A and B are shown apart, each in its own frame.
Chain A
């Protein structure tokens, strides 16, 4: 992904666990805990987002669809992915986002259990000398081993002070 400088905000990942840009290694991998997606998760997310698409809310309609049942909102899956990743990585590797590129590859159904595989894919200079840019490749994987979502997230991270 290429981003003009205006895409970077002034925010950085907090280094409160003592990790800095220099501490993340290219190719380093992380595995998150798992989480079972429930009907309540989907109902709460529909209420919060206001997205009541039949895909997520009408069990009868969805019986006749290719999915056969209600599925989780794509953005619910991504939110849960970020939550899981935060529990399986140093703060440095997930914190605040500057950009992302994401694909929804398959449905997440009620009762599915997902976890996150992350890999540090790239490190480059940030918009100033104080910060570096970390690109993380992430996959959200279900209990069958299917990748249901995947993509790249970019994070600005503080450099160790000289």
Chain B
């Protein structure tokens, strides 16, 4: 493979910096997002038009997190999270997320990172927020 620097760059456990806010680009919530989410989750209660499923913004924020000015975090496993739903969202709203690392703890197979994440709407209000626990790969020894 001829992968260049960009293709292979990853943020390893050692590279994670504490308390540095990372802000993602924004994304407008569309009926297509809701339809795809309703289809893949199979939730029969997601029928009201214009209503954004509770879990959809968090799912979108994980992809938006790949578009910050830092290589993608080398996540080995998503271990768990605590989340709160503060305000409902509607189709047409535009969200982005801001995250920062609260703690990091070294483990044998990698390191555990606790990240605080907020999802923010177009008015600047935090609509969902919580803490995510991630197992992150160590930098491979060459």
A contact residues vs B (CB 8 Å cutoff): 1, 3, 6-7, 9, 11, 35, 41, 44-45, 47-53, 55, 73-76, 78-80, 82-84, 86-87, 91, 94-104, 151
Question: Is B9 an interface residue when CB atoms closer than 8 A count as contact?
Answer: no
Q: What 5 A-B pairs are tightest by C-beta distance, nearest first?
A: A50-B63, A83-B43, A83-B42, A79-B41, A83-B41
24 A–B contacts from the bound complex (CB under 8 Å): A35-B42, A44-B39, A45-B40, A48-B37, A49-B59, A50-B67, A51-B59, A51-B63, A55-B75, A74-B78, A75-B62, A79-B41, A80-B42, A83-B41, A83-B42, A97-B54, A97-B85, A98-B84, A99-B84, A100-B83, A102-B82, A102-B83, A103-B79, A104-B80
- A96 to B, closest residue via Cβ: B54
Interface size on B, residues (CB 8 A): 36
Alpha-carbon distance A55/B45, docked complex (angstroms)? 30
CB–CB A80/B41 < 8 A: yes
How many Å from the CB of A116 to the closest CB on chain B?
A: 12
Instruction: Tell me whether B80 and A52 are in contact (CB under 8 A).
Output: no
CB contacts (< 8 Å) of B76 on chain A: these are 55
B3 part of interface (Cβ distance < 8 Å): no
For the complex with contacts A6-B86, A102-B80, 5 further pairs of A-B residues with Cβ separation under 8 Å are A44-B36, A96-B88, A99-B83, A103-B80, A104-B78
Q: Which of chain A's residues has its CB closest to B67's CB?
A: A50
A87 to B46, CA, bound (A): 12
CA–CA, A128 to B44, complex, Å?
28
A124 to B62 CA separation, bound complex (whole angstroms): 32
* Cα distance, A82 to B37, chains bound together (Å): 12
CB atoms of B36 and A48 under 8 A apart: yes
Q: Tell me which residues across on chain B come within 8 A of A35, comparing CB atoms.
A: 42
Q: Please indicate the chain A residues that have their CB under 8 angstroms from the CB of B31 in the complex.
A: none
Chain B residues, CB < 8 A from A6: 86
Asked whether any CB of chain A lies closer than 8 Å to the CB of B77, the reply is: yes
Evaluate contact between B84 and A75: CB separation under 8 angstroms: no
Given A9-B85, A50-B60: A79 in contact with B66 (beta carbons within 8 A): no
B87 adjacent to chain A (CB < 8 Å): yes
Partner of B86 from A7, A49, A76 at Cβ < 8 Å: A7
In the bound complex, CA of A47 to CA of B86 (Å): 26
* A11 with B88, Cβ < 8 A, contacts A49-B63, A78-B55 known: yes
**Residue B11 lies at the interface, judged by CB distance under 8 Å to chain A:** no
- On whether the beta carbons of A76 and B43 are closer than 8 Å, the reply is no
Q: Which residues of B contact A104 (CB under 8 A)?
A: 77-80
Q: Hey, which chain B residues are within 8 Å of A100, CB to CB?
A: 82-83
Bound complex: CA A43 to CA B87 (Å): 29
Residues in A with CB closer than 8 Å to B64 are 50
Task: Say whether B72 faces chain A, with CB atoms less than 8 Å apart.
Answer: yes
Contact of A51 with B66 in the complex, beta carbons under 8 Å: yes
Given known pairs A50-B63, A50-B66, A51-B63, the reply for A86 and B44 (CB within 8 Å) is: yes
